[in-house]
Amino acid sequence: MVEKTKNETFTNGRFRFLELCRKDYFSREPTGLVHIFIDNPNIEIEGKQLISNLENVYEDQLYIDYGRLLKTVLNGRQIGDNPVIVGSCPPTNDSIWRELENLGCQVTVFDQNELGASISDAIQEHKRPGIIVIVSGDGDYRPVLRRALLRDWIVEIWFWDHGISQRLKWINVPYRPDLQTRITYLDSYYTLFMYACGRENSRDKKFLEINGDAVETWGNEQVMECYMNLNTFCWWYKPDGHSFHMYFDNLEQWREAKCWVKKIYPEVHEFQKGSIATILWFVIPSIYTYYTIDELGDIPLFCPSNYPYKNSKLLHLCQIRIANLICMWIMFVITLLATIIMCVPEKTYKDMVGIDNDGKD
């Protein structure tokens, strides 16, 4: 009986030891949770330099929406802990606060030299490895990222192509060449989280001016919805509290934005600049025609060659006058047609000219 008890004790002890080993082994299974670390000054300085050249906008007119940046790098995955931002805190009107509320998280803001320590703390505190997403291109983070790789963490680096350090592109892990960082360049995603706010002075872009009581409460979040829908860079300007200027590269974007705004926000209305231009192009030629049509006396309007002109110069003057009148009225007709076309919904316009939804004839 005693021998049996010893065997049972040994067997039970070994079983418990194996169970502990199994639990320890499975505790290293990846969680798939994302831990986000953002180097605010790093991404902002490098990003503004790049986008300023791409979009022909001043650097001091460029901003980052950190809520949309967070959503971009999270990419539909589950967040593992409060995101960490080093540098300045996002402004109160940034969408990050609403995004964090939806995720049930808060943001932790530190000084510049705290990002590496925050990553190290995450590695130590979480026994099971997850995914580290670092939005920075600074090569000084290489040592802590190497430690993360050795602890079976997946390391993703999101940054601008031109600004990322070579030390982050290739992290040498001894005897483990398979452990490497995953690089994603923000150059392909900047329209999702960067925007410009301020007057566009080059006059190269078309702008849609919208008005209404609801515009008073509009901000970047509402406007970026439209640009996200169009998959184009967001640039807007608020000259006063009652109107918005939304800038676009071409007429097609302008037309689509107009339809989108009217559909989503029916309480706002467009300031019809096209109608005023059409009226002006009608008034000016009318006034000019009224005062110049009889300036050559009895000479017929269309300058017939068989008319007895007093001298040849009168014939040339008559031809110049009729050419001016014809050009002005042609411009009026073109402006009128352009205004009508801009007011036609996109689907109706495509049906009229025989273009299907894919843009093919």
**Are residues 209 and 240 part of one domain?**
yes
Provide the CATH number for the domain around residue 237: 3.30.70
End position of a domain, from candidates 137, 172, 192: 192
End position of a domain, from candidates 223, 255, 270: 270
Interatomic CA distance for residues 14 and 8, integer angstroms:
10
| Within-domain flag for 25 | no
**Are residues 176 and 47 part of one domain?**
yes
**Are residues 185 and 39 part of one domain?**
yes
Interatomic CA distance for residues 99 and 66, integer angstroms:
9
| Within-domain flag for 162 | yes
pLDDT on residue 277: 55
Tell me the three state secondary structure of residue 49: helix
| Within-domain flag for 13 | no
Query: Cβ contacts of residue 134 below 8 Å, gap of 6+?
Result: 37, 38, 39, 115, 119, 141, 145, 155, 156, 157, 158
Interatomic CA distance for residues 151 and 48, integer angstroms:
35
Range of the domain at 316: 273-353
What percent of the chain is predicted at pLDDT more than 90?
30
Of the candidates 44, 34, 35, 48, the one whose C-alpha atom is nearest the C-alpha of residue 66 is 44
Tell me the three state secondary structure of residue 110: strand
| Residue 351 banded pLDDT, cuts 50, 70, 90 | low
Q: Look up the pTM and report it.
A: 0.67
| Within-domain flag for 6 | no
**Are residues 212 and 177 part of one domain?**
no
| Within-domain flag for 22 | no
pLDDT, greater one: 79 or 278: 79
**Is residue 294 scored above 90 in pLDDT?**
no
Count the domains in the chain.
Answer: 3
